[in-house]
Amino acid sequence: MELDRDKCCYCGGCVGICPENALELRETALCIDGERCKNCGLCAKFCPVGALTKDENS
C-alpha cells in the first residue's frame, strides 16, 4: 500500500479494518508494515480521504 501523508487525517479507521494488522497509528504518523501488508486494498476502501492506494508494483 502507498500512503499520501499530505491527505492522511490520522483518523485510524484503516488500522482497525486491516486483516493483517499491518497498520499502526502513531502520534502524527501512520506506519505500514511492509512485511505484514498483503496489498489487499481493504484499508484504501475505508479511508475517508483517499490517502491510501494499492501499490501496483506488489
Give tens-digit pLDDT for 30-40.
Answer: 999 999 999 99
CB atoms within 10 A of CB 1: 24
Domains, in order of start, for the chain: 2-53 (3.30.70.20)
- Checking if the pLDDT of 56 tops 70, the result is yes
- Checking if the pLDDT of 27 tops 90, the result is no
Cα-Cα-Cα-Cα dihedral sign, residues 35, 41, 46, 47: positive
Q: Is residue 49 a contact partner of residue 6, using CB atoms and an 8 Å limit?
A: no
Q: pLDDT per residue over 4-25, tens digit each?
A: 999 999 999 999 999 999 999 9
Cell numbers for 44:
484504501
Q: Which helix (H) or strand (E) holds 33?
A: none
- Checking if the pLDDT of 57 tops 90, the result is no
Model confidence, pTM: 0.84
H runs (alpha helix) in 1-58: 13-17, 42-46
3-class secondary-structure state, position 27: coil
For position 34, what pLDDT does the model report? 93
